[in-house]
Amino acid sequence: EPEVTQTPSHQVTQMGQEVILRCVPISNHLYFYWYRQILGQKVEFLVSFYNNEISEKSEIFDDQFSVERPDGSNFTLKIRSTKLEDSAMYFCASRIDRELYEQYFGPGTRLTVT
């Protein structure tokens, strides 16, 4: 069964450094999402992406964050200058189309900012 994959599974970085989290959505899916889960807290929406542009973003998704679909398969989340509070599990998700509402989640990347 096709699945969403994410790399790396764990990323450790120093405060102020840039990180790029990578996701490969399911191949025929058209909608892409990033969520994060700070330890012990709920899963929070960051951004949705469709047709090569952001369709919605949360207040968490400030100028330090950006997303890109650089080719036909990858979907990336970049954090320009990481802060301690960016430490979280980041989940990528994809959805096939507008009518089917189920989002398929990847296994997550645990980001630790020291």
Partner 1 sequence: AQSVTQLDSQVPVFEEAPVELRCNYSSSVSVYLFWYVQYPNQGLQLLLKYLSGSTLVKGINGFEAEFNKSQTSFHLRKPSVHISDTAEYFCAVTLGGYQKVTFGIGTKLQVIP
Q: How far apart are CA 65 and CA 47, in angstroms?
A: 10
In the numeric block, which tokens belong to residue 64?
Answer: 């330090």
Q: How far apart are CA 85 and CA 102, in angstroms?
A: 29
Q: How far apart are CA 85 and CA 2, in angstroms?
A: 33
Q: Is residue 65 a contact residue for partner 1 (CB under 8 A)? A: no
Which positions from 10 through 39 interact with partner 1, judged by CB under 8 A?
A: 31, 33, 35
- Per CB under 8 A, the list member of 1, 53, 71, 102 interacting with partner 1 is 102
- Per CB under 8 A, the list member of 56, 68, 73, 114 interacting with partner 1 is 56
Please report, as ranges, the residues that interact with partner 1 according to CB under 8 A: 31, 33, 35, 41-45, 48, 50, 55-56, 58, 91, 93, 95, 98, 101-108
